[in-house]
A = this chain, B = another copy of it.
Amino acid sequence: MEPLSVKRVTLTDAFWTRTQELVRREMIPYQWEALNDRLPDASPSFCMHNFRAAGLLGQRRREQGKQYTAPVYSYRGFDVWPEDPAHPAEDQFYGYVFQDTDLYKWIEAVAYSLAVHPDPELEKIADGAIDAVCGAQLENGYLDTYYILTGMDRAFTDLGSFHELYCLGHLLEAAVAYYEATGKDKLLGAARRFADLVDEIFGPEPEKCKGYPGHEIAEMALARLYEATGEEKYLRLSKFFLDQRGTEPNYFDQEEERNARRDGKPWRPSTDPMHNAYTQSHRPVREQDEAVGHAVRAGYLYSGMADAARLTGDRTLADACRRLWRSVTREKLYITGGVGGTVSGEAFSFPYDLPNDTAYSETCAAIALVFFARRMLQMEARSEYADVMELALYNTVLSGMALDGKSFFYVNPLEVLPEACHKDYRVRHVKPVRQKWFGCACCPPNLARMVGSVGAYAYTESADTLWFHLYMSGSLTKTVGDKELQVEVCTEMPWEGRTEVTVHAPEAVTATLAFRIPGWCGPDRASVTATGGKRRELRDGYLYLTGTWTGEERVTLDFPMEIRVMTADPRVREDTGKAAVTRGPVVYCAEEADNGPSLQLYRLDMARMDRASVEDADIQGTPLRVLTVPAKKLRADADALYTPYRAPKEEDAALRLIPYYAWANRGEGEMRVWFRV
């Protein structure tokens, strides 16, 4: 099963084209300014600066030959900032060690945008950026401005922490996307040269390095490069990284010891058997069964594992993917589709530990979960993968950006009290309003590439089958043998559950269309009608319609979208006795702007829940659906801090709920997803 490339899916969907337009009109230009340090009120990125500085270095070296000695800086920390941000030295590296990836993500986002919306001016800017990237590349193919600028003697010596192979991964993703969108292969060539160099250095051969990426992504990026180029060695390298990860003796421990010895620093082996869980290298990947560590890394690793399992038919790897999927979705997933319960290590917490107020739930981690889900779908069409993919997309991914596309969340909590954000160390990482840009700006460009390519997540195909995973208005062509099916989807998702699919077959085609029955509806309540007497089979959450498609046919999907009150597994301590409200794939929350402060005073009134209603509304000019649900509001009139129990003094109230992704677009205020019932 293959996904469809961005280019093959034409979106006309009101919801997603609006969001993609924000990416095209607001985020891409804004981020370009950010990458060039031209935003007056945001911390400088130094990303393009670093590429230019590395290019300058190469130019000097070419001009002066061996006489030229590159500057060596004594401080080579994880991040380097100039004393005076307005006057960075022209030949020095600044920012985090992974700063290059901000540009790569941006190029990838531009590629998706160009694929569906040609824009010569934007393409010219991107070509210029690509020239800067290629100008920074060393002759042997090496391409990471941090080491190029701070000293190549340490290249590949700190894989555990310094994100070098992470930079390779994002470069590959960008290069393939740009090539597929524009046909231009300059960046792809540079990316391949870097991949070739890494392939020469790393591998199972005795003389080669046995390391692997500290921050994963190269695994799935190499699989993608293999799929784009057909070059098997890239898949082999990906598999090598996966096979090597977490084997004993642990590479990162060895590396740390080596570096400590080199730097004359003390080193002591950790006594915690889980100390490498942060990088998912605590044990071999095939033996992992609990999602642990940094949540973005984990999502990227699991995605790479799913790619490799599918492309190599590796069953033990596939089983590990299934176990890890279950660990994430059965024990460690927020109802908003977010993952990563703790700021400590930006990581998964222990099972069922899903705090709402101190949640981390990083935007990038939700994106990583979408990647993982799509790859599980490529491995096997089970609707649970698409359900989670949809949940993450419509809630935590979108929560990462403001409705105007101009500010961003890194952290997506499920409960916010602004006073606590300002005063309480436990939620120091939680911002009550979105920020314009971050020093560590992983999320905004990641969001841009995710939203820009969302069409590629709606479908997968095999020779004669087309799977519908997400419902978005638009069209595509499915080729079966030498014939074609023109498919048009018309829907009002995520607001209405009815979807019309029109299939136009100029010549009769025997094919299967497989439609996901969303988990929020379920097969009993779903109704699917199709013209022309197709064979129907319900399997793993998909309705398969098989038969001959002729002329214009029509499939009508009706997934009743009701207001649903959801509860959590009682083992989720933070939510015991509470409930959250959803409708279709959208999770709702209450904001102070609609309901006043002290949201903890409300509880959902289940006895009157049949009076809950939905209506059209808009926030900051963006149309959406809001809910009004019956509630009881506790009177806060206690005359002492602690008083004997009496029947609670409650009054009838109505809670106005807005989609979770739309919170914090009306200034600072309380927000809450879970309510007492």
Contacts and interface: CB of A to CB of B under 8 A. Distances in A.
A330 interface: yes
A411 to B, nearest CB: 15
Given A640-B569, A641-B331, A634 B601 contact: no
Interface stretch (A536-544, A573-581, A619-627): A573-581
A644 B600 contact: no
Contacts of A425: 342-344
Contacts of A580: 642
Interface in A614-650: 634-636, 638, 640-646, 648
A598 interface: yes
Contacts of A331: 641
Contact of A419 (B330, B350, B634): B350
A467 to B, nearest CB: 23
A171 interface: no
A644 B569 CA distance: 11
Given A423-B349, A423-B350, A641-B569, A576 B564 contact: no
Contacts of A641: 329-331, 333, 568-569, 572
Given A600-B570, A645-B565, A676-B576, A349 B640 contact: no
A125 interface: no
A349 B634 CA distance: 24
Interface residues of A, number: 53
Contact of A424 (B350, B423, B567): B350
Nearest to A598: B571
A530 B659 CA distance: 67
B634 A576 contact: yes
Contacts of A197: none
A423 B677 CA distance: 30
Contact of A576 (B344, B424, B601, B645): B601
A568 B642 contact: yes
A564 B644 contact: yes
Nearest to A581: B645
A342 B424 CA distance: 8
A634 B578 CA distance: 13
A600 B573 contact: yes
A42 interface: no
A358 interface: yes
A335 interface: yes
A387 to B, nearest CB: 10
B676 A606 contact: no
Contacts of A579: 645
Interface in A373-430: 417, 419-420, 423-426
> How many copies altogether?
2
Contacts of A219: none
A201 interface: no
A566 B646 CA distance: 9
B424 A426 contact: no
Interface in A411-454: 417, 419-420, 423-426
A353 interface: yes
A603 interface: yes
A579 B331 CA distance: 28
A420 B570 contact: no
B636 A569 contact: yes
B645 A677 contact: yes
A651 to B, nearest CB: 13
Nearest to A579: B645
Given A425-B344, A603-B577, A420 B353 contact: yes
Contact of A676 (B329, B350, B577): B577
A609 to B, nearest CB: 8
A17 to B, nearest CB: 30
B642 A567 contact: yes
Nearest to A519: B640
Interface in A556-605: 564-573, 576-577, 579-580, 598, 600-601, 603
Nearest to A643: B567
Contact of A645 (B349, B572, B606, B646): B606
A304 B344 CA distance: 40
A81 to B, nearest CB: 16
A526 to B, nearest CB: 15
A645 B569 CA distance: 11
Nearest to A423: B350
Contacts of A342: 424-426
Contacts of A645: 564-567, 579, 606, 677
A638 B564 contact: no
A641 B640 CA distance: 38
A579 B646 CA distance: 10
Which of A426, A598, A638 neighbours the largest number of chain B CB atoms within 10 Å of its CB?
A: A426
A335 B342 CA distance: 28
9 contacts: A329-B641, A344-B425, A349-B423, A350-B420, A564-B644, A568-B641, A570-B635, A577-B634, A645-B677
Interface of A: 329-331, 333, 335, 342-344, 349-350, 353, 355, 358, 417, 419-420, 423-426, 564-573, 576-577, 579-580, 598, 600-601, 603, 606, 634-636, 638, 640-646, 648, 676-677
Given A350-B420, A567-B644, A570-B600, 18 more contacts: A329-B641, A335-B642, A349-B423, A349-B424, A350-B419, A355-B426, A564-B645, A566-B642, A567-B642, A567-B643, A568-B642, A569-B641, A569-B643, A570-B635, A576-B634, A577-B634, A577-B676, A579-B645
